[in-house]
């Protein structure tokens, strides 16, 4: 299947087959693929938490708004968290090659903290795009989910330096998922209205 066919096939799974396990090597590939995500000045301000443990997944599912059932059914939940304690992140930056460290320090010195945190958070969405695309390429279905209670995730995961922003459920969609592409075709604005060719 070529890349266009894969993107046409990918959709947001709303119901998973809870009994079909994901081969562990696919999960290991996904970890490495997320690690390789590009970011502005290669700043990599992230933590990807792979939750396969059913008890931990259920705890997180219970504070995930309308996504509870999906998370309980899906075999894997990946939580995307951004560096939130900038002093702790500075220790990571200090280990970067000097050119990148200097770039970051310059941006930090010239940007209000709130804006700096927004800029760091934006980098996480690139990883989400990579994760969604990688999942379908690995033959897996997925669900991007901003519908999570970030503070409660942070507490449950015992995070201090990072803040959960969103999550991605991964697994095999149920045969009777109403959102399957054959049942609910893709809905997008026309190419003419979103693409300009000069
Ligand atoms: C950043 C982001 C957050 C989303 N949050 C949720 C969510 O919490 N729950 C959910 O069921 N779908 C969520 N979605 C799925 C979108 O509704 C979906 O991608 C969009 O309607 C397009 O449909 P498609 O992915 O099936 O092509 C999210 C998607 C993105 C990109």
- Whose alpha carbon is nearest atom 10 of ligand 1? 145
Beta bridge partners of 79: 49, 167
Token pair, residue 164, equals: 């959960």
pLDDT of residue 126: 99
Q: Domains for the chain: give ranges and CATH numbers.
A: 3-175 (3.40.109.10)
The per-residue pLDDT for range 71-100, each reduced to its tens digit, is 999 999 999 999 999 999 999 999 999 999
Average pLDDT of the chain is 98
| Cβ-contact 43, 104 below 8 angstroms | yes
101-113 tens-digit pLDDT: 999 999 999 999 9
* Protein residue with its CA nearest to atom 31 in ligand 1: 144
Q: What is the pLDDT of residue 171?
A: 98
pLDDT at residue number 164: 98
For the stretch 105-160, pLDDT in tens is 999 999 999 999 999 999 999 999 999 999 999 999 999 999 999 999 999 999 99
In this prediction, residue 38 carries a pLDDT of 98
Identify the residues whose C-beta falls under 6 Å from ligand 1.
Answer: 11-12, 67, 143-147, 166, 186
H helices of 84-183, where? 86-93, 98-109, 113-137, 150-156
**Ligand 1, atom 29: closest residue by C-alpha:** 144
In ligand 1, the atom with minimum distance to the C-alpha of 65 is 8
Q: How far apart are CA 86 and CA 117, in angstroms?
A: 9
Q: So what's the pLDDT on residue 85? A: 98
Element (H, E) at 77: strand 76-83
């Amino acid at each position: 299947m070529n890349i266009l066919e894969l993107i046409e096939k990918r959709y947001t799974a709303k119901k998973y087959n809870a009994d079909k396990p994901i081969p562990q090597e696919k999960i290991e590939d996904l970890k490495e693929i997320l690690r390789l995500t590009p970011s502005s000045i290669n700043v990599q301000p992230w933590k990807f938490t792979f939750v396969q443990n059913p008890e931990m997944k259920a705890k997180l599912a219970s504070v995930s708004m309308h996504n509870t059932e999906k998370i309980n059914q899906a075999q894997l939940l990946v939580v995307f968290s951004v560096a939130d304690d900038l002093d702790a992140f500075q220790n990571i930056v200090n280990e970067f090659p000097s050119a990148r460290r200097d770039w970051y320090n310059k941006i930090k010195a010239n940007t209000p903290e709130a804006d700096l945190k927004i800029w760091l958070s934006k980098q996480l969405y690139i990883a989400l795009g990579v994760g969604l695309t990688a999942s379908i390429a690995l033959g897996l279905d997925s669900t991007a989910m901003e519908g999570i209670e970030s503070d409660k995730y942070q507490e449950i995961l015992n995070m201090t330096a990072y803040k959960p922003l969103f999550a991605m459920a991964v697994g095999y969609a149920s045969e009777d998922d109403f959102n399957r592409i054959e049942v609910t075709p893709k809905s997008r604005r026309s190419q003419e209205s979103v693409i300009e060719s000069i």
